Protein backbone atom coordinates (compact mmCIF):
# COMPACT_ATOMS: atom_id res chain seq x y z
CA UNK A 1 0.00 0.00 0.00
CA UNK A 2 1.04 3.61 -0.44
CA UNK A 3 3.12 5.01 2.34
CA UNK A 4 4.46 8.52 2.93
CA UNK A 5 6.88 8.97 5.80
CA UNK A 6 8.16 12.13 7.38
CA UNK A 7 10.43 12.54 10.39
CA UNK A 8 8.13 11.46 13.16
CA UNK A 9 10.13 13.19 15.84
CA UNK A 10 10.05 16.93 16.28
CA UNK A 11 12.97 18.87 14.87
CA UNK A 12 14.48 21.55 17.09
CA UNK A 13 17.00 23.95 15.60
CA UNK A 14 18.57 27.25 16.47
CA UNK A 15 17.49 30.48 14.88
CA UNK A 16 19.55 31.30 11.81
CA UNK A 17 20.34 27.67 10.97
CA UNK A 18 18.96 25.72 8.03
CA UNK A 19 16.16 23.28 8.79
CA UNK A 20 15.96 20.19 6.59
CA UNK A 21 12.84 18.04 6.57
CA UNK A 22 12.50 14.71 4.78
CA UNK A 23 9.61 13.10 2.95
CA UNK A 24 9.96 9.51 1.74
CA UNK A 25 7.34 7.55 -0.12
CA UNK A 26 6.80 3.99 -1.31
CA UNK A 27 4.41 2.27 -3.71
CA UNK A 28 3.57 5.58 -5.35
CA UNK A 29 4.44 7.35 -8.60
CA UNK A 30 3.42 10.94 -8.01
CA UNK A 31 3.18 13.48 -10.79
CA UNK A 32 3.96 16.20 -8.27
CA UNK A 33 4.79 16.76 -4.64
CA UNK A 34 3.72 19.66 -2.46
CA UNK A 35 4.75 21.04 0.91
CA UNK A 36 2.34 22.67 3.31
CA UNK A 37 2.64 24.42 6.62
CA UNK A 38 0.09 23.74 9.37
CA UNK A 39 -0.23 25.69 12.59
CA UNK A 40 -2.08 24.18 15.59
CA UNK A 41 -5.83 24.11 15.11
CA UNK A 42 -5.61 25.49 11.57
CA UNK A 43 -5.86 24.18 8.06
CA UNK A 44 -2.68 23.64 6.01
CA UNK A 45 -1.25 26.47 3.93
CA UNK A 46 0.42 25.77 0.59
CA UNK A 47 4.13 26.53 0.34
CA UNK A 48 5.71 24.93 -2.72
CA UNK A 49 5.02 22.48 -5.51
CA UNK A 50 7.57 20.45 -7.43
CA UNK A 51 6.80 18.25 -10.41
CA UNK A 52 8.23 14.82 -11.20
CA UNK A 53 10.45 16.24 -13.95
CA UNK A 54 11.93 18.93 -11.70
CA UNK A 55 14.90 18.46 -9.40
CA UNK A 56 14.74 21.61 -7.33
CA UNK A 57 12.45 24.55 -6.60
CA UNK A 58 13.10 27.69 -4.60
CA UNK A 59 10.93 30.38 -3.08
CA UNK A 60 12.52 33.00 -0.89
CA UNK A 61 14.07 31.09 2.06
CA UNK A 62 12.51 27.80 1.02
CA UNK A 63 14.03 25.11 -1.17
CA UNK A 64 12.57 21.78 -2.21
CA UNK A 65 14.32 18.90 -3.96
CA UNK A 66 12.64 15.90 -5.53
CA UNK A 67 14.42 12.64 -6.31
CA UNK A 68 12.04 10.20 -7.99
CA UNK A 69 14.73 7.49 -8.02
CA UNK A 70 15.21 7.66 -4.26
CA UNK A 71 11.49 8.44 -3.84
CA UNK A 72 12.37 11.31 -1.58
CA UNK A 73 11.87 15.03 -1.20
CA UNK A 74 13.88 17.33 1.01
CA UNK A 75 12.49 20.62 2.27
CA UNK A 76 14.93 23.27 3.45
CA UNK A 77 14.29 26.49 5.33
CA UNK A 78 17.36 28.69 5.38
CA UNK A 79 18.05 31.39 7.99
CA UNK A 80 15.26 29.92 10.11
CA UNK A 81 13.25 32.11 12.45
CA UNK A 82 11.03 31.34 15.46
CA UNK A 83 8.05 32.26 13.27
CA UNK A 84 8.89 29.25 11.10
CA UNK A 85 7.90 26.96 14.00
CA UNK A 86 4.99 24.82 12.77
CA UNK A 87 4.19 21.39 11.40
CA UNK A 88 5.22 20.81 7.80
CA UNK A 89 3.36 18.32 5.65
CA UNK A 90 4.34 16.83 2.35
CA UNK A 91 1.60 15.77 -0.01
CA UNK A 92 1.70 13.73 -3.20
CA UNK A 93 -0.63 14.05 -6.13
CA UNK A 94 -1.13 12.29 -9.40
CA UNK A 95 -3.14 13.27 -12.43
CA UNK A 96 -6.01 15.67 -12.49
CA UNK A 97 -8.49 16.53 -9.79
CA UNK A 98 -5.88 17.53 -7.22
CA UNK A 99 -6.49 14.53 -4.99
CA UNK A 100 -3.66 14.62 -2.44
CA UNK A 101 -2.17 12.02 -0.13
CA UNK A 102 -0.50 13.54 2.91
CA UNK A 103 2.43 12.50 5.05
CA UNK A 104 2.19 12.56 8.82
CA UNK A 105 4.04 15.85 9.11
CA UNK A 106 7.14 16.98 10.96
CA UNK A 107 6.94 19.48 13.78
CA UNK A 108 9.66 22.11 13.56
CA UNK A 109 10.64 24.31 16.46
CA UNK A 110 13.07 27.15 15.92
CA UNK A 111 14.62 28.37 19.13
CA UNK A 112 16.26 31.68 19.90
CA UNK B 1 -5.43 34.89 -2.97
CA UNK B 2 -8.21 32.31 -2.92
CA UNK B 3 -10.09 31.93 0.35
CA UNK B 4 -11.90 28.89 1.65
CA UNK B 5 -14.05 29.46 4.69
CA UNK B 6 -15.25 26.70 6.99
CA UNK B 7 -17.94 26.97 9.62
CA UNK B 8 -18.21 26.33 12.50
CA UNK B 9 -14.65 26.28 13.76
CA UNK B 10 -15.63 24.34 16.85
CA UNK B 11 -18.69 22.32 17.74
CA UNK B 12 -19.65 20.13 20.67
CA UNK B 13 -22.61 17.84 20.23
CA UNK B 14 -24.29 15.05 22.11
CA UNK B 15 -23.88 11.46 21.06
CA UNK B 16 -26.58 10.45 18.60
CA UNK B 17 -27.16 13.91 17.14
CA UNK B 18 -26.12 15.19 13.71
CA UNK B 19 -23.74 18.00 12.93
CA UNK B 20 -23.41 19.98 9.71
CA UNK B 21 -20.14 21.58 8.63
CA UNK B 22 -20.05 24.12 5.82
CA UNK B 23 -17.20 24.78 3.41
CA UNK B 24 -17.38 27.85 1.19
CA UNK B 25 -15.10 29.16 -1.54
CA UNK B 26 -15.40 32.90 -1.05
CA UNK B 27 -13.85 34.36 -4.19
CA UNK B 28 -13.85 31.54 -6.69
CA UNK B 29 -16.03 28.72 -7.93
CA UNK B 30 -15.16 25.16 -7.07
CA UNK B 31 -16.70 22.25 -8.93
CA UNK B 32 -14.72 19.92 -6.68
CA UNK B 33 -14.02 20.15 -2.98
CA UNK B 34 -12.29 17.65 -0.72
CA UNK B 35 -13.09 16.65 2.84
CA UNK B 36 -10.38 15.41 5.22
CA UNK B 37 -10.25 14.39 8.83
CA UNK B 38 -7.22 14.62 11.06
CA UNK B 39 -6.64 12.94 14.41
CA UNK B 40 -4.12 14.44 16.85
CA UNK B 41 -0.54 14.17 15.62
CA UNK B 42 -1.69 12.25 12.55
CA UNK B 43 -1.89 13.01 8.88
CA UNK B 44 -4.85 14.41 6.99
CA UNK B 45 -6.89 11.49 5.72
CA UNK B 46 -9.03 12.09 2.65
CA UNK B 47 -12.64 11.13 3.35
CA UNK B 48 -14.40 12.08 0.15
CA UNK B 49 -14.43 14.16 -2.99
CA UNK B 50 -17.40 16.48 -3.22
CA UNK B 51 -18.64 17.09 -6.77
CA UNK B 52 -20.98 19.95 -7.60
CA UNK B 53 -24.27 18.66 -8.94
CA UNK B 54 -23.47 15.00 -8.48
CA UNK B 55 -22.81 12.41 -5.82
CA UNK B 56 -19.71 12.54 -3.70
CA UNK B 57 -16.98 9.97 -4.14
CA UNK B 58 -16.00 8.33 -0.86
CA UNK B 59 -12.65 6.81 0.03
CA UNK B 60 -12.46 3.20 1.04
CA UNK B 61 -13.63 2.65 4.60
CA UNK B 62 -15.64 5.88 4.85
CA UNK B 63 -19.35 5.30 5.44
CA UNK B 64 -21.33 7.40 2.99
CA UNK B 65 -24.50 7.12 5.06
CA UNK B 66 -22.74 8.44 8.10
CA UNK B 67 -20.87 11.28 6.43
CA UNK B 68 -23.37 12.95 4.12
CA UNK B 69 -21.93 15.34 1.58
CA UNK B 70 -23.92 17.85 -0.40
CA UNK B 71 -22.37 20.15 -3.02
CA UNK B 72 -25.40 22.07 -4.17
CA UNK B 73 -23.64 25.13 -5.57
CA UNK B 74 -20.27 26.07 -7.03
CA UNK B 75 -19.24 27.77 -3.78
CA UNK B 76 -20.66 25.56 -1.05
CA UNK B 77 -20.15 21.99 0.11
CA UNK B 78 -21.54 20.62 3.36
CA UNK B 79 -20.52 17.61 5.42
CA UNK B 80 -23.09 16.22 7.83
CA UNK B 81 -21.93 13.79 10.47
CA UNK B 82 -25.06 11.79 11.26
CA UNK B 83 -25.72 10.03 14.54
CA UNK B 84 -22.38 11.18 15.86
CA UNK B 85 -20.45 9.09 18.36
CA UNK B 86 -17.41 9.95 20.47
CA UNK B 87 -15.13 8.16 18.01
CA UNK B 88 -16.21 10.70 15.37
CA UNK B 89 -14.53 13.42 17.40
CA UNK B 90 -11.82 14.81 15.15
CA UNK B 91 -10.60 17.80 13.15
CA UNK B 92 -12.44 18.05 9.83
CA UNK B 93 -10.95 20.15 7.03
CA UNK B 94 -12.11 20.95 3.53
CA UNK B 95 -10.09 22.13 0.53
CA UNK B 96 -10.71 23.47 -2.94
CA UNK B 97 -8.61 24.71 -5.86
CA UNK B 98 -9.44 27.54 -8.26
CA UNK B 99 -9.15 26.46 -11.88
CA UNK B 100 -6.37 28.98 -12.53
CA UNK B 101 -4.22 27.80 -9.62
CA UNK B 102 -3.25 24.41 -10.97
CA UNK B 103 -2.87 21.89 -8.17
CA UNK B 104 -2.43 24.29 -5.25
CA UNK B 105 -5.02 23.39 -2.63
CA UNK B 106 -6.62 26.02 -0.42
CA UNK B 107 -7.84 24.78 2.92
CA UNK B 108 -10.53 25.96 5.26
CA UNK B 109 -9.59 26.71 8.84
CA UNK B 110 -10.95 23.37 10.00
CA UNK B 111 -13.72 22.30 12.36
CA UNK B 112 -12.98 20.72 15.71
CA UNK B 113 -15.83 18.31 16.43
CA UNK B 114 -16.22 16.94 19.94
CA UNK B 115 -18.96 14.38 20.57
CA UNK B 116 -19.85 13.90 24.22
pLDDT in tens, A58-85: 999 999 999 999 999 999 999 999 999 9
Report how far residue A111's alpha carbon sits from residue B48's, in angstroms, rounded to the nearest whole number. 38
- On whether the CB atoms of residues B52 and B115 are closer than 8 A, the answer is no
Count CB atoms within 10 A of the CB of residue A3. Answer: 11
- On whether the CB atoms of residues B32 and B77 are closer than 8 A, the answer is no
Residue B7: exposed, middle, or buried by beta-carbon count in 10 A (0-12, 13-18, 19+)? middle
Residues from B in contact with A at Cβ < 8 Å: 4, 6, 32, 34, 36, 41-46, 49, 91, 93, 95, 97, 102-110, 112
Q: Do A49 and B107 touch (CB under 8 A)?
A: no
B51 to chain A: closest CA residue: A97
pLDDT in tens, B47-92: 999 988 889 999 999 999 999 999 989 999 999 999 999 999 999 9
Amino acid sequence: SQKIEQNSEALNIQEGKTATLTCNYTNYSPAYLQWYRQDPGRGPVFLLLIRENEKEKRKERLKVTFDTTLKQSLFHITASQPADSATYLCALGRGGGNKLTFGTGTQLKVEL
Amino acid sequence: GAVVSQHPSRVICKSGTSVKIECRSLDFQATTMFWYRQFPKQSLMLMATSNEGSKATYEQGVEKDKFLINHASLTLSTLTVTSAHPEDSSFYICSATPTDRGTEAFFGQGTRLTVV
